[in-house]
């Protein structure tokens, strides 16, 4: 199953995550894109509980596609539930672990436990930008190192959202295919 995890304030119309969800559903893939509780006033525990329920109901390890605060929701899920079955994770534009923004303070600092990511780190990727208002390219590299996952910096991609021109984003589909996330039968 592919689990798409939005960030703060959700991923509204035109966002690449909405496009990805629709593309995957159209292909008959097992995909969920939950509307996590109170996206404009997110609570880490509520988000983690929701994700834990989704993964517990799955019949195969989940592949996560996370944007922004959703990256930290997954990190907290792994810390709170070390036995959760994860196949791979695409982390896109996580905010700085030191972001001074009160609505997301329950998520910060993230645990960043490398051992939690180790079983699927080689099948994971962190993607950031060199001009994101919420995390510098240096912070993206530090986060990737802390988690033990490879990373890629996109030039001039902002927060990799609708505002920075990311509606349809075929890269996400290509990445899912590269980690054999589609049609996993285990």
CB 184 within 8 A of CB 29: no
Contacts of 180 (CB under 8 A, 6+ apart): none
Where are the domains positioned within the chain?
2-178
Q: 137-178 pLDDT, tens per residue?
A: 999 999 999 999 999 999 999 999 999 999 999 999 999 999
SS3 state at 92: strand
Q: 77-100 pLDDT, tens per residue?
A: 999 999 999 999 999 999 999 998
The CA distances from residue 50 to 29, 36, 71, in Å, are: 21, 7, 14
Backbone angles phi, psi at 155, to 5 degrees: -75, 135
Q: Could you tell me the sign of the dihedral formed by the alpha carbons of 55, 151, 175, 160, in that order?
A: positive
Average pLDDT of the segment spanning 7-35: 96
The interaxial angle of helices 16-26 and 170-178, nearest 10 deg, is 60
SS3 state at 152: strand
pLDDT at 184 over 90: no
The whole-model pTM stands at 0.96
CATH class of the 2-178 domain in this structure: alpha beta
Contacts of 34 (CB under 8 A, 6+ apart): 3, 5, 50, 51, 54
């Amino acid at each position: 199953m592919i689990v798409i995890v939005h960030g703060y304030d959700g991923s509204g119309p035109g966002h690449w995550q909405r496009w990805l969800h629709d593309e995957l559903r159209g292909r008959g893939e097992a995909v969920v894109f939950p509307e996590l509780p109170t996206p404009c006033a997110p609570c880490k525990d509520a988000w983690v509980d929701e994700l834990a329920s989704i993964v517990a109901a799955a019949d195969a390890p989940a592949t996560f596609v996370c944007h922004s605060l959703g990256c930290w929701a997954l990190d907290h899920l792994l810390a709170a539930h070390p036995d959760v079955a994860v196949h791979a994770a695409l982390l896109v534009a996580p905010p700085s672990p030191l972001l001074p923004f009160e609505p997301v303070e329950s998520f910060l600092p993230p645990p960043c436990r490398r051992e939690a990511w180790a079983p699927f780190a080689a099948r994971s990727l962190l993607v950031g930008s060199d001009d994101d208002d919420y995390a510098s390219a240096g912070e993206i590299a530090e986060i990737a190192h802390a988690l033990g996952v490879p990373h890629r910096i996109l030039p001039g991609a902002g927060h990799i959202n609708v505002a920075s021109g990311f509606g349809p984003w075929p890269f996400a589909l290509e990445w899912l295919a590269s980690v054999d996330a589609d049609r996993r039968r285990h």
